[in-house]
Amino acid sequence: MSATLEPPGGTRGATPAGPSALARLMMLQRRFQLFQLLALGLLFLWGATTVTDFATALSIKSMLVSAAFLGLAGAGQTLVVLVGGIDFSVPAFISGGAILISQLCGTYHWSAVAAIAVILGAALLLGAINGYVSDRFQVPSLVVTLGMSSMITGGLLLWTKGAATGAAPAFLATVTSVGTRTFGVGIPPLVVLWAVVAIVLGVTLGRTVPGRRVYQTGANPVAAQFSLVRTRRVWTLTFAASGLLGGILGILVGGYTGSGNTTLGDPYLFEGLAAVIVGGTTFGARGDYWKTVIGALLLTVLTTVLIGKGYSNADQQMIFGLLILLVVAGYGRSPRLRDRI
């Protein structure tokens, strides 16, 4: 499925007569992200052989939970990047979800269901505004989402008078904990939830009409309009989905940390974006959510190895940046200009 979506330029380097070994390898790469998986395997092997207790069940489970947080942060961003936009308001949605769930349930004693419904509704609406305004006025989504991000943070500061004090419901801590079992199986519920999100997004993008419209809009909005794709609706719904996913992650992060504050979501912006790009999704219709899943796993394993080796925070960041470049060198670079004429 995804192979048919690649523009023809991608195969130009191959020999025309019969698929050579290299061409077949490139096809496998496009279908199954061979290099990404290879890099993930090698990094894991590196950790398993050099860091003690790296490959224990508990360590793998906690890596999966971290990857789930990161992968969920990159979920909305993947959709938005595919339609050719970028969403810088993801951290605000995360902080917002965490603050609202703690304040509404902890301070105002709402039921969790009501609080979650309000959060998801608000996230959908605000996300939709991001997409609608960007497309209606043809302005960069980067600036619109940056503005939205400030407005959400400002609104929350005003509402909580600068100090969010509530505690998130206890069951959310259980859901996001590494030790919890799902229906008797030893997999944390958060990881199961991530798998569900991944399957829903993967199938929607790859196998359904709405998914196909996302790719059409991202590849060429004008051509998409000529094929009767309502691109404004696609943009609005895509950003709404990104807001919704940010809100869901916010509720979970609130449960994990027990309370919320306005900077809680900040680390997820650049790391979530890194998961998307390291996975191999690029602006405008190339990529899918599976790539982001692999990207999130890759970055989590890398971080865990670096922490396990006892590097300082500063060294971790530097090595993290350099290793991403090294890993992506294998698959994530643009074609040569001379092959594009």
Partner 1 sequence: MRTDLRARLLGSLQTRPWALALVIAVILFVANQLARSSFATWSSWPSLLADFAPFALAAIATTPQMLSGAGGIDISIGPLLNLVSVVVVGELIARGTTSPWIDVPAALAVGAAVGCVNGILVGVLRYQAVLATLCGLFVLSGLGQALLATPAASSQSWLTHLGAQVGPVPGGLILIASPFLVWLVLARTAYLDQLYAVGGDEVAAYSAGVDVARVRITAYTLGGLFAGVGGLALAAATQTGDPTEATQYTLPAIAAVAIGGTSLVGGRGSLLGSLIGAAIIFLIQTLIDSLNVNSNVPQLIYGAILIVAIVLSATLSRTASRAAEGETVAA
Binding site for partner 1 (CB under 8 A): 88, 133, 137-140, 142-144, 146-155, 157-158, 161-162, 270, 273-274, 277-278, 282-283, 312-322, 324-325, 328-329, 332-338, 340-341
CA distances from 156 to 19, 114, 149, 159, 334 (A): 57, 19, 11, 5, 41
Nearer to partner 1, 46 or 320 (CB): 320
Nearest distance from residue 86's CB to partner 1, in Å?
Answer: 8
- 19 SS3 class: coil
Among 248, 256, 262, 250, residue whose Cα is nearest residue 98: 250
Nearest distance from residue 338's CB to partner 1, in Å?
Answer: 7
Nearer to partner 1, 28 or 329 (CB): 329
Nearest distance from residue 322's CB to partner 1, in Å?
Answer: 6
Amino acid at position 123, single letter: A
Kind and range of the H or E element at 132? helix 112-136
Nearest distance from residue 68's CB to partner 1, in Å?
Answer: 21
Nearer to partner 1, 120 or 273 (CB): 273
Query: Angle between the 21-32 and 34-50 helix axes, to the nearest 10 degrees?
Result: 70
Amino acid at position 284, single letter: G
Give the number of other Cβ atoms within 10 Å of residue 314's Cβ. 8
Nearer to partner 1, 145 or 176 (CB): 145
50: phi > 0 → left, psi -120 to 50 → alpha, else beta; which?
Answer: alpha
Nearest distance from residue 81's CB to partner 1, in Å?
Answer: 9
Strand partners, 326: none
Q: Can you tell me the distance from the alpha carbon of 79 to that of 281, in angstroms, rounded to the nearest whole number?
A: 10
Nearer to partner 1, 133 or 201 (CB): 133
Nearer to partner 1, 245 or 276 (CB): 276
Nearest distance from residue 316's CB to partner 1, in Å?
Answer: 7
